């Protein structure tokens, strides 16, 4: 089949199924923020035992009713979004000096069941984003399930994959007595229905522009605004996150190609939320599957408010420019 004339086809788009600029920006912004926070110590290690400041335990998992699974199959911790990354720098630039706990297995009724998939009689997989251990077969609800893990201090969410009917959960630093309630309370909700603070919700918005870049080509400098909604349980965390973000003005962020990453099978997390054996860390994705870069032209704080003593929020608008 002969090639169609250029005036009869779309410019710079080859396939309908491929991700383009807005999806690339949203995905890469989340990856950049997640990696950036880890590099400044933005995680909390939970060891057996670890108690909350106001009581309760973070190392003990609770079973939850999850559609599609039997009672006793899905067990979750008080804090979700477990850290799966490794190989990053922080603490005076010493490589891997202070590292997040790596999940080596699950302790069930005092017996260590090695990971990442368990053994024949007690098989399981780990869902890192949801902070869950999912067993192949149900175990007794009275079982004692414990885990060493690390969770992200600040969780990030993409608005395109996280509808606004999710529950914004307060007092996550105080898991008792809510986590011990049965068939009621916030912790009875599966983790995919809860957003824990502090957190950032990434939302590309309908505010953009396109400027010609050079003569004789269809290349454009495309500006795209992205809102970062910051929610925290105290004003100090909200202010800290806001300052960290606005200090990134005039930075160039390297973007990896989502389409090539998916085709190559190197996504770090698979469809179940488990670590992909062939997955790459953020810096390797950018290095090996580079797509473009975006320039952070401007960062502005649009609104800031303290709703009550446990809910503080602000909205930050980022204007990015990408040459396509």
Contacts of 247 (CB under 8 A, 6+ apart): none
- Two tokens, residue 13: 């788009």
pLDDT over threshold 80, residue 193: no
Average pLDDT over residues 101-111: 93
- Two tokens, residue 14: 């080859």
d(CA 268, CA 278): 7
Q: Do the bridges between strand 155-158 and strand 199-212 make them parallel or antiparallel, or are there none, so unpaired? A: parallel
- Which tens digit of pLDDT belongs to each residue from 253-300? 999 999 999 999 999 999 999 999 999 999 999 999 999 999 999 999
Average pLDDT over residues 1-11: 71
| Residue 184: predicted pLDDT | 45
- Is residue 270 within 8 A of residue 183, CB to CB? The reply is no
| Residue 185: predicted pLDDT | 47
Name the one residue in this structure whose structure tokens are 């005092």. 110
- Is residue 180 within 8 A of residue 188, CB to CB? The reply is no
Q: What angle do CA 201, 205, 208 make, to 5 degrees?
A: 140
- Two tokens, residue 152: 């992200």
Question: Per residue in 183-211, is it b (16+ CB within 10 Å) or e — as a string?
Answer: eeebbebbbeebbbbbbbbbbbeeeeeee
Cα 64 to chain centroid, rounded: 21
d(CA 276, CA 270): 6
- Is residue 98 within 8 A of residue 216, CB to CB? The reply is no
More confident residue, 242 or 121: 242
pLDDT over threshold 80, residue 217: no
- Two tokens, residue 167: 């529950």
- Is residue 105 within 8 A of residue 35, CB to CB? The reply is no
- Which tens digit of pLDDT belongs to each residue from 32-88? 999 999 999 999 999 988 766 555 688 999 998 888 999 999 999 989 999 999 887
Neighbours of 293 (CB within 10 A): 15
- Which tens digit of pLDDT belongs to each residue from 20-35? 889 999 999 999 999 9
d(CA 156, CA 184): 26
**Rama region for 35: left / alpha / beta (φ>0; ψ in -120 to 50; rest):** alpha
């Amino acid at each position: 089949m002969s090639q169609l004339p250029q005036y009869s086809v779309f410019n710079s788009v080859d396939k309908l199924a491929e991700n383009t600029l807005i999806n690339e920006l949203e995905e890469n912004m989340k990856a950049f923020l997640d990696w950036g926070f880890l590099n400044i110590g933005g995680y909390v290690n939970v060891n057996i035992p670890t108690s909350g400041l106001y009581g309760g335990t973070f190392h003990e998992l609770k079973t939850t009713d999850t559609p599609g699974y039997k009672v006793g199959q899905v067990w979750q911790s008080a804090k979700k979004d477990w850290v799966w990354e490794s190989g990053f720098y922080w603490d005076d630039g010493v490589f891997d000096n202070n590292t997040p706990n790596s999940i080596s297995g699950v302790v069930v009724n005092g017996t260590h069941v090695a990971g990442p998939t368990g053994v024949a009689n007690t098989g399981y997989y780990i869902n890192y984003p949801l902070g869950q251990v999912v067993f192949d077969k149900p175990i007794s609800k009275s079982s004692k399930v414990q885990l060493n893990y690390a969770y992200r201090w600040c969780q990030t969410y993409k608005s395109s994959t996280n509808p606004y009917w999710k529950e914004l959960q307060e007092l996550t630093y105080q898991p008792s007595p809510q986590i011990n309630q049965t068939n009621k309370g916030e912790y009875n909700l599966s983790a995919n229905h809860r957003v824990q603070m502090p957190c950032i919700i990434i939302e590309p918005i309908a505010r953009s522009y396109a400027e010609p870049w050079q003569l004789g080509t269809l290349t454009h400098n495309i500006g795209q605004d992205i809102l970062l909604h910051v929610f925290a349980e105290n004003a100090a965390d909200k202010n800290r996150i806001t300052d960290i973000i606005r200090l990134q003005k005039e930075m160039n962020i390297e973007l990896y190609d989502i389409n090539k990453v998916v085709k190559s099978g190197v996504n770090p997390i698979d469809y179940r939320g488990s670590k992909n054996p062939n997955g790459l860390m953020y810096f390797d994705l950018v290095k090996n599957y580079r797509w473009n870069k975006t320039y952070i032209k401007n960062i502005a704080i649009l609104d800031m408010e303290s709703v009550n003593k446990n809910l503080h929020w602000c909205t930050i608008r980022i204007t990015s420019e990408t040459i396509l």
